[in-house]
Amino acid sequence: MWQNSYSSILASILSIVIYWLIRDRYRVGNLNGKHVFIMGCDTGLGNSLAKWLDKKGFCVIAACATGKGGQELQACSSLSLKTVNLNLADSNSIARAVVFVTEQTAGKGLFGLVSNAEGSAPVAPTDCLTIEDFHSVLDVSLLGVIEITLKLLPLLKKAEGRVINLINAKGLMALVGGGYSLSKWGMEAFSDTLRIEMQHFGVKVSIVEHGFFKAEVVNSDIEKYLFRLWNSLIPEIRDSYEEKYFVESQRSSVKRLCDYDLSNVIKCMEHALIAKYPRTRYRAGCDAKFFWLFLSYAPSCLSDMLLRITFPTQADSRRPVRGVLINV
């Protein structure tokens, strides 16, 4: 009797797995000419995805923070790829970008919105930061993304499109001070809420959680920021930390988990766009699938211990302090 029950359970689980694998392979037909709006296309993941989708026949509208970034992207893409300048911290810039997207889609609606608020987000111990440091990250990586998403929802509803939010898997854990972790946790919550509310309109929302990856970041600018932050600290706080900790330890900590292959992230974003039944969450990179996911479910005492081992701390400080410089 028990053997029959176990066999039935195993058969049911196997059937569900096979059904999921078959369902996951279904693709949307007739993708040529569908419009996709991608943010953060100057460099990194946004730039790579824009080129990839352009070759696939999508009508890509790439948002770049600088005119130079847009010109370089257009120079190596087809004529159907369009660029627009976008500053997510500026509501006027967001409004102009929305008008541009509306004109380009010409009544067809927007099939895909890929939010990739990419940039350097220096973070440090909380008592070293000001409220302006929090605003500089949250205004772009959270509030700016939410604002432009809200304004593009009518176009997404019209095309029954998709929203893909690219989020660093560090959003699963609060590790460092500053607005970085806050912005990622906020985007997780916003994406979940939006997914539930938009199901009625045929709009699908997916989250792509990626690990650390090698991106084009100017190390000299990062170090200038850190030294400027160090010099601005009051003596009482400065005496609590080591100057070397602000640069060398932060630089080495990311390298321990850094992935040099962006293709895994690109494949996840592509699947979220072209799959008939996109997944709710994608995890790209070994650290995203195993390290950060495990830490998010592990007891706090265990996760704290593992973080102290993985990331450098100050040797002479009575209070161990962790700090990293993260690529958004």
Residues identified as active-site: 180
d(CA 149, CA 113): 8
d(CA 209, CA 296): 13
**CA 194 remoteness from chain centre:** 16
User: What tokens appear for 27 in the block?
Assistant: 């693709």
Strands of the sheet containing 59-64, edge to edge, are: 82-85, 59-64, 35-38, 112-115, 162-168, 204-210, 281-284
d(CA 177, CA 159): 40
d(CA 93, CA 145): 12
Q: How long is the chain?
A: 328
Residue 173 DSSP class: S
Contact 145, 267 (CB under 8 A): no
Contact 101, 110 (CB under 8 A): yes
d(CA 42, CA 306): 35
Contact 227, 185 (CB under 8 A): no
**CA 205 remoteness from chain centre:** 14
